Structures are given as structure tokens and as C-alpha cells.
Amino acid sequence: MVGQRTVLVTGATGNVGRHVVAQLLDTGARVRALVRDPRIAALPDDVELVRGDLTEPESLRAALDGVGPLFLLWPFLSAEGAAEAVDVLAEHPRRIVYVSAMAVQDDLEPQANGVWGQVEDLIKRSGLEWTFLRASGFATNTLGWADQIRVEGIVRWPYGDAARSLIHERDIAAVAVRALTEDRHTGATYVLTGPEAVTQAEQVRIIGEVVGLPVHWEELAPEVARQQLVAAMGDLAFADSSLEYWARLRTEPEPVTRTVEEVTGTPARTFAEWARDHADDFRRLATAEVAEMYVSSFRTGNLGAAFGLLSPDMVRAAPMEGAGEPAELRGLDAIMENSQRLNADYEIHGVDVDDPLVNQDRFAVRFAFDETHIPTGKRRTTAKVCLYTVADGRVTREEVYYHEAPHLPA
């Protein structure tokens, strides 16, 4: 058992990492999470948060101080920078559990196995103890259909008869936690899948059944999908290989293993179970539901759930944050960057969130932040009221009104 040795979790705020953190805590393990911004990590209070990045060796080295086992999820489509990261990991003996991909084949050279095989090879040559989790496709990838399902009830994509053995993120986490806390998994390579291969069209039907909506599959020309993938990912080779893979699954379904059950003693969850767990991600929520979920997310510190209710291209208007000039931002990336800029000089001790006021397609919430201005040491309460507009179950606009003008960074 891991005992009192601290476990470092990378990717701790992601779909799999959050479950790894939660399940490790259930075992009594001490957990440290490597995160880019501790202020928005929204992880349990028992977790030690360390600011850092896998691509920044010095921050990674600092995060590893006193750490035993490590959970690694390399988040990039390229292995660039992985060698430097693994070198840092290997400075002291430790066990590493790496989430790889089912596509990796032992009889191929690392370069032919893509980023997952290349990272596996680096770890093998590092001298570290390792366990590789070669996972099939994540069921969470189907969340990419959520907007189509909510708005139109139609999913347009090629190869509806391609059959995949998608795996629930909780099951990946369950195997990872066993490998992190039990000695018997060292040197093991586990191929992890769901309990069945389900066609993409059937996945859509199941989601519709779970959320109570008539949802249909509409076949899209592969060339159109290729253009969409290139626009989204910026990688022509990735788009081509993905489409070739899905085309092959029409006649050669993804394999199904029982490894999850063999390692954990519990059968892998079905795609229908996954869909039930994520029903709210696909359902067209009423404004009152969005408001209640949004407020609840802030009160419990689960900011990831709050961000999931925001439209990717939402607009935020906050005139008092722009030194008197109208300040309007579009897109979550720009909004988050602005939030980090505004809060850079503050330590936030807590936040009180009032019950929402709801009317048709809008709701309003009052927030009161207990915070300290770090340069001056002055502690104060900053109050603001936010008015949100909701469309198709997502927040599309936020208007921010302050009781007093906020302190703006120089």
C-alpha cells in the first residue's frame, strides 16, 4: 500500500484526474495535485495544490518533493517536451502510472505508435517503475456532440456504424488508483475498455433515450468532417488518421477486454451508465435549472461544473472593470485570462453566494468576496451582482455590476 507517501496527480482537474483524486482520498492516501492555477482548481480541501506545468521542468521538480507514486496523463498530441519531463520524474525512484492508448502496439517502433507509444518508451528507458493503462476511447469524447443534441436533436458525423468500446472515466481512475496503491501492478500493461462495442449511431440513440429527447444520427461526408477536424485541431495528419480509424471500425469493431473487472473486481460501466451519469450535459436545461446548478457549483467550490454551464463563445460585459470604458469580452479563454489579471493581486478567503433570482431566460446572482489585497495587506469585502442570459441550456452572456468600483491592476 502507498501508506503515508504522497501521490502526485497530473491532469487533476480533468475528466479522469478528478476521479483519480477522489478515489485516492477514499483510500486514505495523501494527494498532491499539479495544477496551472490553484485558484480555479476546485478540488477537495484535503488535496495539496501545487502550481506547475509538465512542460516546465523546474515547477515539476518542486512539485515532486516528497512524492512517491505519480499519475501521469500527458495532455498533448505531441511528445515534444516529454523527454525533459520524464528526466525530472526519474531523478528519484518512484512508481509512475501512465494513461496511454489502446492503439499502441508492442511490435511497432515508438514513432509508429504516436505520442502515447513515444511517452511509454521514454518511461521504460528511464528506470522508473511503471504501469501503463492503454485505454480505449474515452466516453467523455462524445460530449462534443452535446450542443448538436441540445439545439437540433441531430448528430452529424461520418461512419455511424463504427463500433467503439468506449470507457467510463471512473473506470480508468479505478484501475489507476489500484496501480498507484498496490505493488502487484508494477511492469503491467493493461488494455482498458468498456464492456461492449457500441456503434456511434447507437451511442446517439442511447443518449437521446437517457435524456428523453428524440435524437438522431445523420451521416456526414468524410471530407466535410475532415475540414472540421483540421479547423478544430490544426493537424491534418491527426484528422486523416482519425477518419481512417473510424472507417476501419465499421468492419473491425474495437476489442472488448475484462481488464477493469479483473483489476478492480467490479465490471466496467456500460455506455448507457455513462450517459445517465452525464445526462445533464446533454439535456436542454431550463433557466431555473441552470441558475440552481450554477449557484450550487460556486457554493461547493466545484468551479469546473460552473464553467461547464457556460457557452464557449459567451460574452461578458463589465464596464467598471474597464476604467469607465465599456468592457466586453467574448469567449471563455479571453474571460478567464481577464479574471486571472483582475485577481492577480488578491488572496480570496471565501465567497458568499445568494440564491438566484430567475425570470424567463435570465437570472441574477449576488456574490460577496472576502479578499485581501496582497500589495497593501488590506482585507475587504467586494460585492457584485451578475446578470446572466441563458439560451439552449447554456449561459451566453454575463453582465457584471459592482457595489463599489473594483481595484484594477496597474
Q: Is the pLDDT of residue 85 over 90?
A: yes
Q: Which long-range contacts (CB under 8 A, 24 or more apart) does 174-178 make?
A: 174/19, 174/23, 174/260, 174/263, 174/264, 174/266, 175/133, 175/259, 175/260, 175/263, 175/264, 176/16, 176/20, 176/71, 176/97, 176/99, 176/133, 177/20, 177/23, 177/24, 177/27, 178/263, 178/264
- Mean per-residue pLDDT, 274-289: 92
Give me the mean pLDDT over the 83-99 stretch: 95
Instruction: Give the range among 314-318, 333-337, 367-371 with minimum mean pLDDT.
Output: 333-337
Q: How confident is the model at residue 322 (pLDDT cuts 50, 70, 90)?
A: low
pLDDT at 143: 94
The three-class DSSP label of residue 42 is coil
| Topology at the third CATH level for domain 287-402 | Nuclear Transport Factor 2; Chain: A, (3.10.450)
State the pLDDT confidence band at 323, using cuts at 50, 70 and 90: low
CA separation, residue 268 to residues 63, 165, 168, 182, 199 (Å): 33, 11, 8, 20, 18
Name the least confident of 206-215, 244-253, 288-297, 303-312. 303-312
Full-model pTM: 0.78
Joined together, the cell numbers standing for residue 312 give 464557449
Average pLDDT over residues 221-239: 91
Instruction: Indicate whether 2 pLDDT > 70.
Output: no
For residue 239, how many other CB atoms are within 10 A of its CB?
A: 20
**Is residue 3's pLDDT more than 70?**
no
For residue range 142-199, what is the model confidence (pLDDT) as tens digits? Answer: 999 998 998 789 999 999 999 999 999 999 999 999 999 999 999 999 999 999 999 9
Residue 320: pLDDT over 60? yes
CATH number of the domain at 140-165+195-256+268-284, out of 3.20.20.450, 3.40.50.300, 3.40.50.720, 3.80.10.10? 3.40.50.720
Say whether 287-402 and 1-135 share the same fold.
no
pLDDT at 41: 84
Q: What is the pLDDT of residues 296-310, one digit of tens each?
A: 988 887 777 788 789
Task: Give residues with Cβ within 8 angstroms of 282, minimum separation 6.
Answer: 145, 146, 149, 150, 207, 210, 211, 213, 275
CA distance 302 to 306: 7
Residue 4's pLDDT is 61
pLDDT on residue 326: 54
Closest CA to 203 of 134, 132, 275, 137: 275
Give pLDDT, residue 405.
Answer: 73
Task: Work out the average pLDDT over 335-342.
Answer: 85
- Closest by CA position to 26, among listed 264, 286, 363: 264
> CA dihedral in degrees (174, 175, 181, 187; nearest 10)?
-170
CATH topology of domain 1-135: Rossmann fold (3.40.50)
Domain ranges of the chain: 1-135, 140-165+195-256+268-284, 287-402
Per-residue pLDDT at 324 exceeds 90 = no
Give per-residue pLDDT as tens, 35-63: 988 877 889 989 999 999 999 999 999 99
Which phi and psi (to 5°) does residue 166 adopt? -60, 145
The reported pLDDT for the residue numbered 233 is 82
Q: Categorise residue 269: left if φ over 0, alpha if ψ from -120 to 50, beta otherwise.
A: beta
Q: 338 falls in which pLDDT band (50, 70, 90)?
A: confident
Is the pLDDT at 286 greater than 60, yes or no?
yes
Above 90 in pLDDT, residue 339?
no
Q: What are phi and psi of 101, to 5 degrees?
A: -135, 145
Of 235 and 96, more confident: 96
CA distance 172 to 187: 17
What does the pLDDT read at residue 319?
82
Residues belonging to the chain = 410
Residue partners of 152: CB distance under 8 A and separation at least 6: none
Mean pLDDT of the chain: 92
Out of 13-22, 136-145, 336-345, pick the least confident.
Answer: 336-345
Alpha carbon distances (Å) from 363 to 286, 289, 317: 11, 10, 15
Distance CA 10, CA 103 (A): 22
Q: Is the pLDDT score of 259 beyond 70?
A: yes
